[in-house]
Amino acid sequence: MSFSPKKFLKYIFIALLAAVLIKSFIFDAYMIPTGSMENTLLEGDYILINKVAYSLSTPHTIPLLNTWISSAQLINFKEPKQGDVVIFKFPGYPTEVYPEENSSFIKRIIGLPGDTVQIIKGEVFVNHIKIELPKDAIIPFDKTKNPDPRIYPKNRNWENNNYGPVVVPKEGDTIQLNTKNIEDWQALIDRELGGKVVSVEGSVINIQKRPEREYTVKKNYYFMLGDNREDSMDSRYWGFVPKDYIIGKAVLVYWSWDSYKSANGITEFFKPLRLKRLFKIIN
């Protein structure tokens, strides 16, 4: 059987195309960059993301490039549920229509659309019912802290361990707008309508240059928390995540490498490898 460069290139092209399609629509890999999900996920864990856990959607990024684009849902399979660990496009801070840096975060879904979320002395309540912490979560020790000015929404005198209550927006909700709460909702409205469309003139709130006293939410949103509450930038600091920003569900740790451990020479090459974490199911 003679070697054919043309056939070889054809097979390479087909393999690359299949890899791009799988990565874009079905499965993807992600490396945990911080300790915000400890000890469920550790910095240096390499995980698989199931992109069709909830729906089949167009890609969130241009294939092979780290350029974010708008994603459209093609087929819906099921809704995200409380407790799911998901990766999502960072929506930006409350002062941003679009984030300065395009990045993806991984957190746990705590509040579903329409839920009321509150944290009291480190304990999380959803719809006034206490929810159990994940078994590997780091429970905050210091439960008496000063109000954090970074907390969202602003000017509430809330702390990361004493937070809320907040109601997670859902599609069809009508928000009554006034000069006292417009700062809470301005970024959400701007993002849903595709640009800086909210302005305030005295006591008048304008949306797309028209005076408005209310706004109807167009998307379903989720409240996200990191399992390591003391070291996690999450919905307490930047607000809610729309469903179309959810990329997929974290399902499996396939590799784990402790970069803080040094490997001197060939005999210690695998010293940083966390063998017990390989093929761990993510819950």
Q: What's the helix, strand, coil split of the chain in %, to 5?
A: 15, 30, 50
Of 227 and 23, which is predicted with more confidence? 227
With beta carbons less than 8 A apart as the criterion, state whether 32 and 44 touch: yes
pLDDT at 1 over 60: no
Q: List the domain boundaries for the chain.
A: 5-111+221-281, 174-216
Averaged pLDDT of the chain? 91
Q: Which residues does 275 contact at the CB level (< 8 Å), separation at least 6?
A: none
Of the candidates 117, 125, 106, the one whose C-alpha atom is nearest the C-alpha of residue 164 is 117
Top-ranked range on mean pLDDT: pick from 12-21, 97-106, 135-144, 245-254:
245-254
Q: Which residues pair with 18 in a beta bridge?
A: none
Across 228-260, b (16+ Cβ under 10 Å) vs e yields bbbebebbbebbbbbbbbbbbbbbebebbbbee
DSSP states of 148-194:
PTTSSSSSS---SSSEEEEEPP-TT-EEEP-TTTHHHHHHHHHHHHT
pLDDT 10s digits, 189-211: 999 999 999 999 999 999 999 99
State the pLDDT at residue 23: 82
Chain centroid, CA 272 distance in Å: 28
Region of residue 156 (phi > 0: left; psi between -120 and 50: alpha; otherwise: beta): alpha
Across 1-35, b (16+ Cβ under 10 Å) vs e yields eeeeeeeeeeeeeeeeeeeeeebbbeebebebebb
Tell me the CA end-to-end span of the chain in Å, nearest whole number.
50
State the pLDDT at residue 265: 67
pLDDT at 268 over 80: no
Tokens of 278: 């390989």
User: What is the 8-class DSSP label of residue 265?
Assistant: S
196's enclosing H/E stretch is none
For the full predicted model, state whether its pTM sits above 0.95: no
State the pLDDT at residue 9: 82
Q: What is the mean pLDDT of residues 35-48?
A: 96
pLDDT 10s digits, 48-96: 999 999 999 988 888 767 778 888 889 999 999 999 999 999 999 999 9
Position 262 confidence tier, pLDDT thresholds 50, 70, 90: confident
pLDDT 10s digits, 119-157: 998 899 999 999 988 888 877 666 556 788 899 999 999
Q: What CATH code would you report for 5-111+221-281?
A: 2.10.109.10
State the pLDDT at residue 194: 93
Give the percent of the chain with pLDDT over 90: 69
Helices (H), the chain: 5-25, 182-193, 235-238
